[in-house]
Structure 1
Amino acid sequence: MTLYTYTALDKKGKTKKGTQEADSPRLLRQTLRSEGLAPVDVEPARVKQESATTRRSLFTRKASVSEIAMITRQLATLVAAAIPIEECLQALSQQVSKPHLQAMIKGIRARVLEGHTLSDALASYPSSFDQLYCAMVAAGEKSGHLEVILERLADYSEQRQQIRSKMTQAMIYPIVLTVVAIGVVGALLTTVVPTVIDQFKFAGQKLPPMTQALIAASEFVSSYGLWLVAGIMLALVVRQRLLKKESRRLLNDKFNLKLPVFGAVFSGVETARFARTLSILTSSTVPLVEAMSISSGVLGNRYIRQKMLAASDRVREGGALWTALENSGLFPPMMLHIIASGERSGELPNMLERAANAQDRLFEDQVNIALGIFGPVMIVLMAGMVLFIVMAILTPMMDLNSLVG
């Protein structure tokens, strides 16, 4: 069967487009007529690899991490039932309800029917299936344990989604709290304070230094507040443009690792991701050097990626894995001891996973501690600012009342 794209009209005259498999265009037209559609155009679907432009397009919807985990889990169940891979993909395309997932799975099945391996077909959609995913599927196809590899990939995708959700939640709370604090203080300085201060100026009263400082802050925010916000947004846009150059991006990633507190968190997340990915690949019979190269490719920090590629070169030259990682200066001693123990005992995949789990727990503890400290600190700072504004207003009012008395 061949995958076709069609354009048809329904009973109300509305245009409907889609993709469907059929033995020939004539049979597809008959099928469409039986469904109450009037076929206008039927042609073979062109299954092409995604280009870099397609991957970066804002209007191209790609499969999310959770969707990939769901598809992988369902595919593993079908493969474990000894069903041919093209039939598994056909059943999977009928199972999913979202159009972009249906189109992707049908495209993968079309390439499999053309004689490509599943890993090659998945590689046609790099925005959804990265190098790690395709390499593991290829290893599963060669070893004959594809269903086991798919289960591991589903677990990995779900774990990655959980870590991403934790990082997002950890970032949302302080950002929202900071924006609310700045908004409240800004509103007080631009609306409440000028009205009250005008009364003092009208009375010709000599104002204390605290009140004069508040007046200066209010006038600055009223005059330059919007310009300040626009300048910050412009600086962020310019920074984003500058970071498009690879050399600047590398320096920025290196600088991020030197930030107090945040640098350790960034480094911990990346080393845990590297160890977990390397564990999955080595347990899937992928050679260590090749596994290190693939694991480096999934890292977001370019400086750490460069260090890991250098470590893979040392392993290729005959060095031990834990020694190569130690020379990078990125892995904590505990992780290095666990990895060294795995190399000596011949249980490297299990020890790598254990090291990644330990690093993930450390990351969660750091995030919880940081959030536990940040919340009260922001509340105290906000209360201090409001107290300063109130005291700056009340002090001249009390002085004025004493004079009147």
Structure 2
Amino acid sequence: MAKFAYKARAAGGELVEGVLEAASPAAVADAIAAAGRIPLEIRESAAEALAFKLPSLSFGPKVRTVDLLLFSRQMNALLKAGVPIMRALAGLQESSTNPAMKTVLQEVRESLDSGRELSVSLARHPKAFSPFYLSMIRVGELTGLLEEIFQRLYHHLDFEQFMRQQVKSALRYPMFVVSAMAVAIVVINLFVIPAFAKVFKGFGAELPLMTRLLIGFSEFMVHWWWALAAAAVGGVFAFRGWVASDDGRFKWDRWKLRIPIAGKIVLKATLARFARSLALALRSGVPVVQALGVTAQTVENRFVAHCAERMRDGVERGESLLRTASAVGVFTPVVLQMVAVGEESGSLDDMLQDVAEMYQKEVEYELKTLSQQIEPILIVFLGIMVLILALGVFLPMWDLGKVAIK
């Protein structure tokens, strides 16, 4: 028996942490689910982890978003057709092409055979099924609308994947341009400027300040390229380690939203996912407090998740959703107005759905005009680079030309 540290979400939405002794992480998930909580994270306790020489790493196939999309869609179709859930899971297990998904479905079937509910069986695999997914399944079991919940989850996952791809598309072009400029700077300093430096040294004349700076920086890169490369690799690993920490991830996610041009696209895409998730939870009958708690787990941004948790805490204290949304400071006045109308009319889920669609359209528009917004900035940077190179390379030639004319 080993000890496992866990994080779980209680029925009221509050975060619960603790340590349980069990034979496996699946057994811990069973115990947490049996207590009416949703497991968020299960890991070996620090004392147990130190007892092993090597960490437990999984390099095999994993359950992907597309697997969950197919699972949700097919479960909706099979349950709507009246197929028993055990038979449906058996058919999906046979047709699945992902070994990880096959294993998960096999263990879910075995868990159902032992008398557990579907939500509890799925909770045994927290890496495959998110807390939001598990909450929706639990609601479907309680309301008898499981097939409808699977359909809503399918559309939700499809929307999540679409917005994730939109964000990647928004960042791909700026990252490519910045990388190309960095490569160009390295090539110029390692190969181009040293060739000019040999010519300039043969002149025996005093070089302009800009030229001396370029040659000095180039010589530094030529002689210390290995140190710069080691520092770059070390910086990458240090950055990844910092981002992996809770505080680092929070600060990095908050800073990403402030990046010029790309930051507003990431923010709108994140808020679209948040509004869509919250609308789905409320429409499925999840209480507002719990809905905000599980929705915070669906956004892949710690800062926005923290804002959602602040909203949940405010609602728990008896404040309105509008007031808590205004306090976090990430929503636009138009969105706050729609939330106010939703609370007054009792159609908050519909208003949040409209908010998600509005943000989605804004993201699509921003992506279409992204190149037009970035081009002026790139032109300025390229112009500065060309100016520096021109002054450094051609000023000595210009001075020598004037001397030769005299």
Provide the TM-score with structure 2 as the length reference: 0.79
1:185 aligns with 2:185: yes
Q: How many residues align?
A: 360
Query: What is the root-mean-square deviation in Å for CA atoms of aligned residues?
Result: 2.9
* Cα distance in 2 between the residues matched to 1:309 and 1:214: 51
358-367 or 259-268, which deviates more:
259-268
* Cα distance in 1 between the residues matched to 2:279 and 2:215: 61
* Cα distance in 2 between the residues matched to 1:261 and 1:68: 32
The superposition leaves residues 255-309 of structure 1 with CA deviations (integer Å, 9 ceiling, x where unpaired) of: 5555555654454333322211111011111222211111122233334333322
* Pairs within 5 Å for 1:98-117: 98-117=98-117
* Cα distance in 1 between the residues matched to 2:380 and 2:252: 32
The superposition leaves residues 353-398 of structure 1 with CA deviations (integer Å, 9 ceiling, x where unpaired) of: 1011112223333444444322453255335424543553344345
8 Å CA contact retained: 1:185, 1:386:
no
Residues 247 and 203 (structure 1 numbering): CA distance in 2 closer, same or farther, change over 3 Å?
A: closer
* Pairs within 5 Å for 1:5-404: 48=26, 51-52=42-43, 57-254=57-254, 256-257=256-257, 264-382=264-382, 384-386=384-386, 388-390=388-390, 392-400=392-400
Greater radius of gyration (CA):
1
8 Å CA contact retained: 2:272, 2:360:
yes
State the 1:100 CA deviation: 2.0
8 Å CA contact retained: 1:174, 1:375:
no
The superposition leaves residues 50-72 of structure 1 with CA deviations (integer Å, 9 ceiling, x where unpaired) of: 85369983414321112211221
8 Å CA contact retained: 2:269, 2:359:
yes
State the 1:404 CA deviation: 5.3
122-131 or 389-398, which deviates more:
389-398
Q: Which amino acid aligns with 1:126?
A: P
Extract unaligned runs of 5+ from structure 1. Answer: 1-45
8 Å CA contact retained: 1:119, 1:137:
yes
* Cα distance in 2 between the residues matched to 1:65 and 1:94: 19
Which SS does the other structure have where 1:300 is aligned?
coil
8 Å CA contact retained: 1:170, 1:371:
no
The answer for the alignment partner of 1:25 in structure 2 is none
8 Å CA contact retained: 2:72, 2:154:
yes
Higher relative contact order (CA 8 A, sep 6+): 2
Which SS does the other structure have where 1:52 is aligned?
strand
Q: Which amino acid aligns with 2:307?
A: K
* Cα distance in 1 between the residues matched to 2:61 and 2:110: 20
Q: Which amino acid aligns with 1:104?
A: V
The superposition leaves residues 148-181 of structure 1 with CA deviations (integer Å, 9 ceiling, x where unpaired) of: 1111111111111111111112222211211111
8 Å CA contact retained: 1:279, 1:350:
yes
Which SS does the other structure have where 1:137 is aligned?
helix
Q: Which amino acid aligns with 2:128?
A: S
Extract unaligned runs of 5+ from structure 2. Answer: 1-23, 30-41, 50-54
Q: Which amino acid aligns with 1:213?
A: L
Q: Which amino acid aligns with 2:329?
A: G
Residues 297 and 98 (structure 1 numbering): CA distance in 2 closer, same or farther, change over 3 Å?
A: closer
Of all paired residues, the percent bearing the same amino acid is 27
* Cα distance in 2 between the residues matched to 1:243 and 1:182: 23
Structure 1 residue ranges (4+ consecutive) displaced by more than 6 angstroms after TM superposition:
53-56
Q: Which amino acid aligns with 2:161?
A: Q
Residues 175 and 267 (structure 1 numbering): CA distance in 2 closer, same or farther, change over 3 Å?
A: closer
